[in-house]
Amino acid sequence: MERAIIIAAVFLLLSLQTAATAAAAAGVGRRRVTRRRPPPTLATRRHYATSLQVPRAGDDAASSSSSVPPAVQYETRRYTQRLDHFNSLPSSYATFQQRYLINDTFWGGRSRTAPIFLYAGNEGDIDLFTNNTGFMWEAAPRFRAMLVFVEHRYYGESMPFGGTREAAFRDAATKGYLTVTQALADYASFVLSLKANLSVPAAPVVVFGGSYGGMLAAWMRLKYPHVVMGAVASSAPILSFYGIVDPYAFYDRINDDYKSESKNCYDVLRKSWDVLDDALATKEGQAQLRRTFNMCNGSSVWDIPSLLENAMVEAAMTDYPTTSGFLTPLPAYPVRAMCRAIDARHQQAAASTSTSGSGNDDGNNSSSSTALLLLSEQVRDAMNVYYNHTGGAACFRAEEDDDPYGLYDGWNWQACTEVMVMAYGVRDGTVLQPAPFNFTEVVDDCRNVTGLPPRPFWIETEFGGYDIANVLKKSASNIIFFNGLRDPWSTGGVLKSISDSIIALVEPKGAHHVDLRFSSKEDPEWLKKVRVKETRIIARWLKQYYSDEGIAT
């Protein structure tokens, strides 16, 4: 939702750019290394991968990958989708091919009016979310449900204007059809067509989504209650907009995650920015960083701060209780693992100092060099947890321009036109480099990116946001909002149940849409209970639906 997982969910969309002047590179004076924060993405991202690819069901890579269980099998189809659902200009009747993935292995069929479980595609390739939304795959046999995963317009292979990314993103005139309301209308149109083709007009549809997809799932239930009878909105920050959320809350939560693990870890990360900036400002410091960090060809020590920040943010979003490989291989509780790496290096240095004594200090320069070495080694060890958990990477590589999940072009536009989630401000004294929030600067930056005036208040206008409890109480039903409080995006989530059918499931130890992941024998009890609750709620919705429709089950 990328910045994400997270995230996005979001996880971050673009590289965190290092501003390095020639004077600083030459060691003339001390200059703070600043990084402009781009529009955040709610999907987690993986720019620094070594060889991991997103396997598709049916591919050899999929069958041999532990990240995609064998049960994930689907057929790829296309739906002829209208370009513009909301006016009658001749250009609106243009169409494009929208990709969807379908599995009817478990479906109970027409005679049983069995349900359809629909995934509202996120800001990326639909395969990625299909292969990682295990809750739907595991719940389908119980409910005898058909599984359908629909790709969001302008992402993956669902490109208007001839089906190519170049044509779709040519200019503002072509990108202007990339909006939330158009995407929701796509899903509604698709569902009604699918049900008509299957001759199941009364089949109940439950929509699922995580991160931005969770936002879409909740909004679809609001806008099209006659199309979907319930929504599971996981880690959906529908309140992360200006005037509703504290713009510092996202990074405050990340700070709390690291601080909760270790005071030493917190102190090291908090101090690291000034120490790295000092080192980058001198030739001697840069040389020390080169000796400590093995940067790949084409990358440099100037990339270290951005790499560190990305690792810290992404680890906090995907702080799952079991090993994961959603976008990059990570150990269980990666925040804890990063802090343990920092603490282990600290303890090793303390033991070494105790053994050798303290009589080898040759003055301030030696002391400063020793402090830099220790901190840089601690930072390197923490980064290794995120970028090299499997041990397969030979060096640290800065972000490349490739876009393996079809993410950047679309989200850059959305996050600077209407989905302007406020996750920019970083307070002084936290584990990340301070960045005072300035709404005017955010708007101006987005105007520069798109060439158009942003609409930061449109989402609240279209779907509600202020006084969300009364909004949803009066206009909605059958929505599950799951949020894990380890996830920074939970700061913009619905954290209290609003009615008997608008239910907030909040887990203090949870991370970004962890409930939608495939289950594992290592799952903690709290996660198992969350999934049981969600399953029972969906069962209750369906029972009520069949009763209301007079359908025998």
Q: From the candidates 512, 513, 515, 523, give the one annotated as an active-site residue.
A: 512
What is the reported pLDDT for 352? 75
Q: Domain of 253: which CATH number? A: 1.20.120.980
CB 22 within 8 A of CB 309: no
Strands 17-18 and 116-120: unpaired
Residues 65-83 pLDDT 10s: 346 788 899 999 999 999 9
Mean pLDDT of 82-101: 96
> How many Cβ atoms sit within 10 Å of the Cβ of residue 501?
17
According to the per-residue pLDDT averaged within each range, which of 109-113, 267-271, 307-311 is highest? 267-271
Residues 433 and 506 in one domain: no
Tell me what pLDDT residue 401 has: 52
Instruction: Kindly report the CATH number assigned to the domain that includes residue 93.
Output: 3.40.50.1820
| 479 and 516 co-located in one domain | yes
Q: Does 361 have pLDDT greater than 60?
A: no
* Per-residue model confidence (pLDDT) at position 404: 67
Query: Can you give 93-133 as a three-state secondary structure string?
Result: HCEEEEEEEEECCCCCCHHHCCCEEEEECCCCCHHHHHCCC
Asked, for residue 272, whether it belongs to a domain, the answer is yes
Domain that residue 406 falls in: 247-351+370-437+446-451
Give a yes or no: residue 19 inside a domain.
no
Active-site option among 303, 319, 343, 487: 487
Co-location of 498 and 524 in the same domain: yes
Examine the domain organization and report whether 281 and 236 are in the same domain.
Answer: no
- Tens digit of pLDDT for each residue in 188-199? 999 999 999 999
What average pLDDT does this structure show over 170-192? 98
The helix or strand, by DSSP H or E, that contains position 310, with its residue range, turns out to be helix 304-317
**Of 15, 67, 211, 477, which residue is the catalytic one?**
211
Distances (CA, A) of 240 to 232, 243, 320, 432, 492: 18, 9, 22, 20, 4
β-bridge mates for residue 54, sequence order:
none
Same domain, 282 and 378: yes
Domain membership of residue 116 (yes or no) is yes
pLDDT of residue 534: 98
- For 382-413, what is each residue's pLDDT tens digit? 999 999 999 988 899 886 655 667 788 899 89
Does the pLDDT of residue 455 top 90, yes or no? yes
What is the C-alpha to C-alpha distance for residues 8 and 436, in angstroms, rounded to an integer? 23
DSSP lists the bridge partners of residue 503 as 480
Residue 509 near residue 524, CB atoms below 8 Å? yes
Same domain, 477 and 419: no
Is the same domain home to 101 and 187? yes
Domains held by the chain: number: 2
Q: Between 119 and 364, name the one with better pLDDT.
A: 119
If asked whether residues 271 and 160 sit together in one domain, one would say: no
Could you tell me which of 232, 272, 235 has the C-alpha nearest to residue 253?
235
Return the percentage of the chain with pLDDT > 70, whole number: 84
Please tell me whether residue 303 adopts helix, strand or coil conformation. Answer: helix
Residue 68 lies in a domain: no
Question: Distance between CA atoms of 506 and 511, rounded to whole angstroms?
Answer: 10
- Is residue 205 included in any domain, yes or no? yes
In this structure, the answer to whether residues 96 and 183 fall within a common structural domain is yes
Catalytic (active site) residue 512 = yes
Question: Is 104 considered catalytic here?
Answer: no
pTM: 0.89
Residue 405: predicted pLDDT: 72
Among residues 451, 480, 515, which one ends one of the domains?
Answer: 451
Domain boundary residue, one of 399, 426, 451: 451
Report if residue 502 sits inside a domain: yes
Whether 268 has a pLDDT exceeding 90, the answer reads yes
- 358 has pLDDT over 90: no
Between CA 370 and CA 378, with CA 375 as vertex, the angle to 5 degrees is: 130
**Residue-level pLDDT at 398:** 82
Residue 287 token pair: 């040389």
Q: Is the pLDDT of residue 354 over 50?
A: yes
For the cut 70, the answer to whether the pLDDT of residue 17 exceeds it is: no
> Does residue 1 carry a pLDDT above 90?
no
Report pLDDT for 236: 97
With cut-offs at 50, 70 and 90, classify the pLDDT of residue 110.
confident
Would you say residue 15 lies in a domain? no
pLDDT of residue 553: 75
Residues 463-517 have pLDDT tens digits of 999 999 999 999 999 999 999 999 999 999 999 999 999 999 999 999 999 999 9
Both tokens assigned to 521: 């024998």
Lowest pLDDT segment from 46-50, 176-180, 349-353, 457-461: 46-50
The answer to whether residue 172 sits within a structural domain is yes
Same domain, 223 and 308: no
Check residue 515 and report its DSSP letter. G
Nearest by Cα to 50 from 404, 465, 432: 404
Statement to judge: residues 463 and 399 lie in one domain: no
Whether residues 152 and 269 fall in one domain: no
Q: Among 451, 473, 493, give the residue marking a domain's end.
A: 451
